[in-house]
Amino acid sequence: MAKSSNPEGKTGVRIVVAGDRGTGKSSLIVTAAAETFPTNVPRLLPPTRLPEDFYPDRVPITIIDTSSNPEDRGKLAEELKRADAVVLTYACDQPETLNRLSTFWLPELRQLEVKVPVIVVGCKLDLRDDQQQVSLEQVMSPIMQQFREIETCIECSAYKHIQIPEVFYYAQKAVLHPTGPLFDQETQTLKPRCVRALKRIFILCDHDRDGALSDAELNNFQVKCFNAPLQPSEIVGVKRVVQDKLVEGVNERGLTLTGFLFLHALFIEKGRLETTWTVLRKFGYNNDIKLSDDLIPYSSFKRAPDQSVELTNEAIKFLKGVYELFDSDLDNNLRPIEVEDVFSTAPENPWNDAPYKDAAEKTALGGLSLDAFLSEWALMTLLDPARSLENLIYIGYPGDSSSAIRITRRRRLDRKKQQSERNVFQCFVFGPANAGKSALMNSFLGRPYLDSYSPTADEQYAVNVVELPGGIKKTLVLREIPEDGVSKLLSSKESLAPCDIAVFVYDSSDESSWKRATELLMDVAGHGEDTGYEVPCLIVAAKDDLDSFPMAIQNSTRVSQDMGIEAPIPISSKLSDFNNIFRRIVNAAEHPHLSIPETEAGRSRKQYHRLINRSLMVVSVGAAVAIVGFAAYRVYATRKNASS
């Protein structure tokens, strides 16, 4: 498993050489390119190119010399920002130039936000005082601890041709096969993301799913990655190397996952990073150890603003199988550690962060039921379909990735058809502060009511399955919009496009809460009328366990009748009396032509359009009558002439 490969898409490597004046930068470059020490070196070399066959990876290198003069600082910064790798030089016979690496050059790279591998090179090794012999590791260890961007250190002599080709080989290698994403130098272990990727590769190659790579599977893996089979003696040798160091790395069925990971750690420790990188790239990984963009069919997500993305039945069937596989005790409770196992072949668990963390209902044991598991996937597909599809691939979705998702019909068309065919509905939850929005969200996820009030600073999501009559299940996503976030939301023309239904929550005991909720309703309804993204709306009278404010019924009746929507729905989160609110939300979303509020301005606009259309119809009818009359006259005139 030793052959390297040229990473796809990398047509060249740009290496910038920087360091104090007189540290041997130009001599290093000339000697590397010409393989001879120069007698006269210009102050600054033009870009120097090493041909593609100079090193085994067959990727051409362009080396950029730089000036350390103060007047050239701008040009230096520009070149450093364009670098794929930076070679920082110091002179072995001038200790102060070594100190300048940590006091000036490395901090300067950080200030310029140059985030590329750094190779530290000690030049003029032949001039070092023999009495000052100190190991390179001893000198560089504290600097490398402080500056993790240093990939490797090397000392050389251009005059005596000592380790000159190695300098740019290591620099190129640091770009094409970087250590950082794979290996933690401090702990001397594979990094978590690397382990996850290799685990996925192992599972994909373990065709009989017996937890080990047989000789045949190991050989298939070798051919796929390196285009060359392993001889039987080589397979025996690989397994012996693993077994000598790690007994559990090999069993009677073949090389285990533990052994597979150990083998790659061994390659990296021995400096053969190209082996592991070749494997990763053959399976579609980029330098961030994530799937390359070309493996995600982004064209599949092209849609109008009022269309959304859902999982297909095929993808849902696959996810149900995944749930059953990882719910080892079959108790319909995927524990947190089991959820982590589901995503153990992905770069990380996507549900550890907002908006997915705590967005689904938890079981009494703190896990996820099957409905909650599928709800999280529905939410991720709705909000970030590319990430959802990417994670489906990571956890082993077997079909064509484009078969996992579908684009829904436009909401505007749903209103015309007077029915929605969606399986996932998104509900925007508006309302003034302390109206009961968060309590509604928490009750949707089966959480207990809390008497204490904690204002919501950021948008929150809650997702769950709602069962309708006849056993039909729909997924409902509640998106809580904080009161002070409404203006920002409505500043975008398309902000209501992804909304299937809006709910306006108010405290039924507080008249000011009611007034503010109706203002929000007017703002949202007006925005929908202005942009063409009108949405059905429901009003929710929360805290029904408290006495209503005076004139509450009269006011709410007037507003609902004026705007042509349903009267407020009373609920009490404290008493767990929800009046079928979530089912009613889904029903309203399923019939989007109903419950659409109409403002006075919107009503006037419609009347105006009807008047214009009626006028046009009268004009068109009049024109038609005139044309018919003229045609009749021509027929009459023709006949009269004929009879004469």
| Cα 126 to Cα 93: distance, rounded to the nearest angstrom | 9
User: By 3-state DSSP, what share of the chain in percent is helix, strand and coil, each rounded to 5?
Assistant: 50, 15, 35
Q: At what angle do helices 600-643 and 511-531 cross, to 10 degrees?
A: 30
- Cα(123)–Cα(339) distance, integer angstroms: 52
Two structure tokens written together for 497: 């496009």
C-alpha to C-alpha distance for 516 and 435, rounded to whole angstroms: 10
Residue 384: exposure state from Cβ atoms within 10 A (0-12, 13-18, ≥19) = middle
- In this prediction, residue 616 carries a pLDDT of 59
**Is 435 within 8 Å of 445 (Cβ atoms)?**
no
Which residues are paired to 189 by β-bridges?
A: 184
pLDDT at site 284: 93
**Nearest CA-CA partner of 461 in 501, 426, 410, 499:** 426
- 572: which strand partners? 577
Residues in Cβ contact with 491 at an 8 Å cutoff, skipping those fewer than 6 apart? none
- β 85-91/118-123 pair status: parallel
Rounded Cα distance between 97 and 466, Å, is 69
Q: What angle, 0 to 180 degrees and rounded to 10, lies between the N-to-C axes of helices 192-205 and 215-226?
A: 120
**φ/ψ (deg, to 5) at 451:** -70, -30
User: What pLDDT shows up at residue 5?
Assistant: 47
Q: Return all residues near 587 (Cβ < 8 A) that are at least 6 apart.
A: 468
| Distance of alpha carbon 428 from alpha carbon 434, whole angstroms | 17
Query: Rounded to whole angstroms, what are the CA distances from 373 to 327, 377, 389, 466?
Result: 11, 7, 15, 14
Token code pair at residue 1: 């498993």
Rounded distance, CA 139 to CA 102, Å? 12
CB within 8 Å of 449: residues ≥ 6 apart: 439, 442, 443, 573, 574, 576
Beta strands in 250-340 (DSSP E): 250-251, 254-256, 309-311
Q: 166 with 156: CB under 8 angstroms?
A: yes
Instruction: State how far the Cα of 462 lies from the Cα of 355, in Å rounded to an integer.
Output: 9
3-state SS class at 291: strand
Q: DSSP string of 610-641?
A: HHHHHHHHHHHHHHHHHHHHHHHHHHHHHHHH
The residues with which 368 forms a beta bridge, in sequence order, are 334
Rounded Cα gap, residues 218 and 174, in angstroms: 28
pTM above 0.85, yes or no: no
Instruction: Report the residue count for the chain.
Output: 644
| Six token digits for residue 433 | 């502060």
In angstroms, rounded to a whole number, what is the distance separating the alpha carbons of residues 372 and 473?
13
CA torsion through residues 250, 255, 256, 259, sign: positive
> Tell me, what's the pLDDT at 301?
82
The reported pLDDT for the residue numbered 367 is 95
Q: What are the two backbone dihedrals, phi and then psi, of residue 225, each rounded to the nearest 5 degrees?
A: -85, -35
Which positions of the chain have pLDDT values less than 70? 1-9, 131-133, 602, 604-644
| Residue-wise DSSP of 154-222 | EE-BTTTTBSHHHHHHHHHHHHHS-STTTEETTTTEE-HHHHHHHHHHHHHH-TT-SSEE-HHHHHHHH
Task: Supply angle C-alpha 277, 283, 288, rounded to 5.
Answer: 55
Residue 133 is predicted with a pLDDT of: 67
Half-sphere exposure of residue 20, counting CA atoms within 13 Å on the CB side?
18
Residue-level pLDDT at 42: 86
CA neighbor of 360 nearest in space, from 326, 333, 395: 333
User: In this structure, which amino acid lies at residue 426?
Assistant: Q
Q: How many CB atoms lie within 10 A of CB 209?
A: 7
In this structure, which amino acid lies at residue 48?
Answer: T
Please report how many Cα atoms fall inside a 13 Å half-sphere around the Cα of residue 164, on the Cβ side: 23
**Residues in contact with 143: Cβ distance below 8 Å, sequence separation at least 6, in sequence order:** 101, 102, 106, 120, 150
